[in-house]
Amino acid sequence: MTRWSPLAIGIVALGCVLTGASRSSAQGPYYPLPAWDQTLPADTRFVRVFFQEVCVNNRCAQLAQAILDRETGLVWERSPSSLVMNWRIAQGHCATAVHASRMGWRLPTVAELTSLLDPSVDFGVRLPPGHPFLNISGETHYWTATPDETSAAFHFTVDVDHPQVGSVSDSDGFFAWCVRGGAK
């Protein structure tokens, strides 16, 4: 049987801390790794993050600026832009967005944006019941970063009201819903 000295145990523990080798540091203190193969209920799937303090008449509140999707590991704007914009402006809007002092936002891919949709919802915005998002506009499309390979001037959009993906001209006007994380 091998006996470990307290010094050896301390060196191994320090190495794990410095390299992030422990299971808890790899997952974060509260959130498990993304689970694309799981379906989580909205109350546990979505976590409000990136809080910003807002004060009115000496009363302050912490407002969530973004939502962590525990199924995908992506962080979404809690309230997407309500301005109609062409694709280039939408891309720039996300690239320069700042929410609770956080940068690094971008347009989502088709796969990422459609991962939010719940096909079991019969009508209206097809997000899971109890979702925490605000100002989601039905009967419109949201831009994605996914280009239409058949034309350099077209990108795909996602209609969250009638789960449809469509290729449209970059000069058309739709909304932007920015995301952080994931592979791009």
SS (H, E, C) the chain: CCCCCHHHHHHHHHHHHHHCCCHHHHHCCCCCCCCCCCCCCHHHHEEEEEEEEEEECCEEEEEEEEEEECCCCCEEECCCCCCCECHHHHHHHHHCCCECCECCCECCCHHHHHCCCCCCCCCCCCCCCCCCCCCCCCCCEEEEEEECCCCCCEEEEEECCCCEEEEEECCCCEECCCEECCCC
The range of the structural domain enclosing residue 16 comes to: 1-30
Let me know if residue 62 belongs to a domain: no
**Do residue 83 and residue 169 come from a single domain?**
yes
**Do residue 167 and residue 97 come from a single domain?**
yes
Confidence of residue 25 (pLDDT cuts 50, 70, 90): very low
Lowest mean pLDDT among 6-15, 57-66, 86-95: 6-15
Q: What is the pLDDT of residues 149-172, one digit of tens each?
A: 999 899 999 999 988 899 999 999
Mean pLDDT over the full length of the chain = 81
Report pLDDT for 123. 84
Let me know if residue 156 belongs to a domain: yes
Let me know if residue 47 belongs to a domain: no
Report pLDDT for 124. 84
Total of domains in the chain: 2
Lowest mean pLDDT among 28-42, 61-75, 82-96, 117-131: 28-42
**Do residue 81 and residue 25 come from a single domain?**
no
Let me know if residue 155 belongs to a domain: yes
Predicted TM-score (pTM) of this structure: 0.77
Q: Does residue 184 have a pLDDT over 80?
A: no
Percentage, residues of the chain above pLDDT 90? 51
